[in-house]
Chain A
Amino acid sequence: SQQGEEDPQALSIQEGENATMNCSYKTSINNLQWYRQNSGRGLVHLILIRSNEREKHSGRLRVTLDTSKKSSSLLITASRAADTASYFCATDTDNAGNMLTFGGGTRLMVKP
């Protein structure tokens, strides 16, 4: 598979529940970022975690990074209907210059 693959591809939860999305990648990275995309809209940066970091928090978001397993997870706690969107991980690598490689995304639906 390609650099940056999320699972699950789709996730449906009730408001108030936690949502966990996972991302796996193939090559060594400098940083891993998570972006959010509302349907038909642009991507919005959520959080960046560096290769030497293991966990990072921002509000209701918690990101973990396991470089030994080449994987990351994004946890959204106490989800809201407004969190409904697609979530993408994106990686940049030493060899890829100035580009981000995006995964296929997880479509999250939070039901009120």
Chain B
Amino acid sequence: EPEVTQTPSHQVTQMGQEVILRCVPISNHLYFYWYRQILGQKVEFLVSFYNNEISEKSEIFDDQFSVERPDGSNFTLKIRSTKLEDSAMYFCASSEWLVGLNTGELFFGEGSRLTVL
């Protein structure tokens, strides 16, 4: 069964360092997302991406964050200068259809755990 894959599964970094989290969405999906989950808290929306541009972003997704689809398969989340509060599990997701239309089902990866020291 097709799946969303994420790398790395765990990254430890020093505060102020740049981090890139990578995702390979399901191949025929058109919509891509990043969510994050701070330990013990809710899953929070960061950004959605369609047709090579950001379609929606939350207040969390400030200037320190960026997303890119550098080729036909990868979808990356970059955090330019990490802070302690960026420590969280970051989930990539993809969907065939726009959320709110048709099934709206998101397929999530297993997550990348980011620890900022």
Contacts and interface: CB of A to CB of B under 8 A. Distances in A.
Contact of A100 (B106, B110, B111): B106
Interface residues of A, number: 27
A45 B111 contact: no
Given A42-B91, A43-B43, A43-B91, A100 B99 contact: yes
B25 to A, nearest CB: 13
B110 A98 contact: no
B92 to A, nearest CB: 9
Interface string A76-112: 0000000000001010101011111111110000000
A43 to B, nearest CB: 4
B50 A98 contact: yes
A31 B109 CA distance: 22
A98 B91 contact: no
B104 A97 contact: no
B55 A48 contact: no
Nearest to B104: A31
B8 to A, nearest CB: 15
Given A45-B106, A45-B107, A98-B56, A31 B100 contact: yes
Contact of A98 (B98, B107, B109): B98
A45 B110 CA distance: 13
A33 B111 contact: no
B109 to A, nearest CB: 5
A10 interface: no
A41 interface: yes
Nearest to A2: B42
Interface in A40-92: 40-45, 48, 88, 90, 92
A90 B98 CA distance: 15
Q: Which has the most chain B C-beta neighbours within 10 Å: A35, A44, A99, A103?
A: A99
Given A98-B48, A98-B99, A100-B99, A45 B55 contact: no
Given A92-B104, A101-B45, 4 more contacts: A35-B108, A40-B89, A43-B43, A97-B55
